[in-house]
Structure 1
Amino acid sequence: MSLVINIGGSILAPDLDEKRFREFADTLIEISKKEQVFVVTGGGSAARDYIKVARDLGANEAVCDKIGIDVTRLNARLLISALDNKAYSEPPESYKDAENAMALNKIVVMGGIVPGQSTDAVTTILAEYIQADLIIFATSVDGVYTSDPSINEEAEKLENISPKELVDISMKIENKAGANAVVDPLASKILERSKIPAIVLNGKDPEKIKKAALENDHNGTLIK
């Protein structure tokens, strides 16, 4: 079975702490003993900080996207360093490169690809490209809600949701560089067409990712 895990920058690198990267690396190595693992790393607050400065300096959204991509790839390189020889040595810069890397039976870690695609979208397109069996979105929230729970106290968590329902929720999100969403609109549409099941969960504790991947045990939202 092949698995694509999106690790949000907000949980992987809330600050540059090597212990966090080692914790995630240890978990990914355990999962990789039973599954072919691909990882897409997000940029988190660092990417948003860089994008804000770029935007304030007058950079357009495409340039801001490229800056965000650079940060996601830096996070990917740090995770590769933590994984040592268990990981493919470079973050692939295309879906074809990621597919080719799979032949080496290593954990493949990558960041963003092109402007206009968030790492959510990269995750879903990669999963479609390699015909993955499951996607896990490891985020700082515990699932998909009817609206943003940090703004709306009446937002309800959804334990099960169809891709079409996810699209309807995600379309309310503004599509700008550095947008902060659980699963963005483009990723939601790719999930709808690919029909690959996905889990959204709180991944601050890497052990929860392992349980979801290997035991189908989670308290998040199943998208299917």
Structure 2
Amino acid sequence: MMKRVLLKLSGEALAGDKKTGFDEATVTEVAKQVKTITDKGIQVGVVIGGGNFWRGRTSENIDRTKADQIGMLATVMNCLYVSEIFRTAGMSTEIFTPFTCGAFTDLFSKDKAVRNLEEGKVVFFAGGIGHPYFSTDTTTVLRAVEIEADAILLAKAVDGVYDSDPKINPEAVRFDEIHIQDVIDNKLAVVDLTASIMCMENKMPMLVFSLNETDSIINTIEGKLNGTKVTVS
């Protein structure tokens, strides 16, 4: 059984069928699953994408740096909301950002984050890494490495890693297991290239599954993954 994991939640998946904003039923279900695994003593860090509010440059009139800053703030909003739902479900939480965010969040420190995890809190990492040109994929791997997580749990809208985009190609084949080097060599869209290389260099495995499947987070933790294991050794 894993002791500490970094859970990456897709912003779009949290929006449910609405595709934007929040679907409270979806978030509440995630909270129930995370409560189940934290009750088993597993420490959980969380990164959430911002795609339910903002995806990159939506206009050529917006500078890339500014567009990325908007995306960082979208992830802060997501973490504030999801954190509050988690608290309603009976968990203690803490939100860290790499930049000062008034009284909303705490400034990121590895020592403080690990201390909170060891105290049983669910720790949210919002705001990306605080700089443009880096995605929440990169944030996920960076924070997972920093907190010395056993694995990254990638809860996405798609149920694993495929040899091509299953939304476009109905004949796409899902991998049960694939090495990170093959992901990089074949440019498979698990996480972006920077994040993939960081996983390879730091030996950080990933478990990729669908957030929309019943009890998918619990099943993955219990070794009943219905998705793809991305290996690093």
| CA distance 1:7–1:208, shift in 2 (3 Å) | same
3-state secondary structure, aligned to 1:222 = strand
Match of 2:105 in 1: none
Match of 1:218 in 2: 225
Asked if residue 26 in structure 1 is aligned to residue 32 in structure 2, the reply is yes
The structure with more helix, counted as a fraction of residues: 1
Is the 1:7–1:39 contact (alpha carbons within 8 Å) kept by the matching residues of 2? yes
Structure 2 residue identity aligned to 1:21: V
Tell me how far apart the structure 1 counterparts of residues 195 and 114 of structure 2 sit (CA, whole Å): 19
Is the 2:94–2:116 contact (alpha carbons within 8 Å) kept by the matching residues of 1? no
1:100-121 Cα offsets, whole Å, 9 max, x none, are 5334320011232222221111
Asked if residue 202 in structure 1 is aligned to residue 210 in structure 2, the reply is yes
Q: Report how far residue 184 of structure 1 moved.
A: 1.2
Is the 2:117–2:123 contact (alpha carbons within 8 Å) kept by the matching residues of 1? yes
Q: Report how far residue 161 of structure 1 moved.
A: 0.6
Q: Report how far residue 95 of structure 1 moved.
A: 5.5
Aligned residues: 210
| CA distance 1:9–1:23, shift in 2 (3 Å) | same
Is the 1:3–1:38 contact (alpha carbons within 8 Å) kept by the matching residues of 2? yes
3-state secondary structure, aligned to 2:186 = helix
| CA distance 1:190–1:12, shift in 2 (3 Å) | same
Structure 1 unaligned residues grouped into runs of 5+: 173-180
3-state secondary structure, aligned to 2:166 = coil
Q: What are the within-5 Å matches in structure 2 for residues 138-153 of structure 1?
A: 138-153=155-170
Deviates more, 1:96-105 or 1:192-201: 96-105
Tell me how far apart the structure 1 counterparts of residues 141 and 169 of structure 2 sit (CA, whole Å): 28
Structure 1 residue identity aligned to 2:146: Y
Asked if residue 155 in structure 1 is aligned to residue 172 in structure 2, the reply is yes
3-state secondary structure, aligned to 1:152 = coil
1:78-112 Cα offsets, whole Å, 9 max, x none, are 11101116232434433625335334320011232
Q: Report how far residue 46 of structure 1 moved.
A: 1.9
3-state secondary structure, aligned to 2:54 = helix
Match of 1:65 in 2: 68
3-state secondary structure, aligned to 2:199 = helix
Tell me how far apart the structure 1 counterparts of residues 123 and 94 of structure 2 sit (CA, whole Å): 8
Match of 1:40 in 2: 47
Match of 1:113 in 2: 129
Q: Report how far residue 192 of structure 1 moved.
A: 0.6
Q: Report how far residue 169 of structure 1 moved.
A: 3.1
3-state secondary structure, aligned to 2:215 = helix
The structure with more strand, counted as a fraction of residues: 2
Match of 2:150 in 1: 133
Asked if residue 88 in structure 1 is aligned to residue 93 in structure 2, the reply is yes
Tell me how far apart the structure 1 counterparts of residues 38 and 161 of structure 2 sit (CA, whole Å): 26
Is the 1:139–1:182 contact (alpha carbons within 8 Å) kept by the matching residues of 2? no
RMSD: 2.0
3-state secondary structure, aligned to 1:108 = strand
Asked if residue 11 in structure 1 is aligned to residue 18 in structure 2, the reply is no
Is the 2:183–2:190 contact (alpha carbons within 8 Å) kept by the matching residues of 1? no
Is the 2:7–2:153 contact (alpha carbons within 8 Å) kept by the matching residues of 1? yes
Tell me how far apart the structure 2 counterparts of residues 52 and 196 of structure 1 sit (CA, whole Å): 30
Tell me how far apart the structure 2 counterparts of residues 47 and 87 of structure 1 sit (CA, whole Å): 28
Tell me how far apart the structure 2 counterparts of residues 76 and 182 of structure 1 sit (CA, whole Å): 22
Q: Which has the higher contact order (CA 8 A, sep 6+)?
A: 1
Q: Report how far residue 41 of structure 1 moved.
A: 0.7
Tell me how far apart the structure 1 counterparts of residues 109 and 229 of structure 2 sit (CA, whole Å): 25
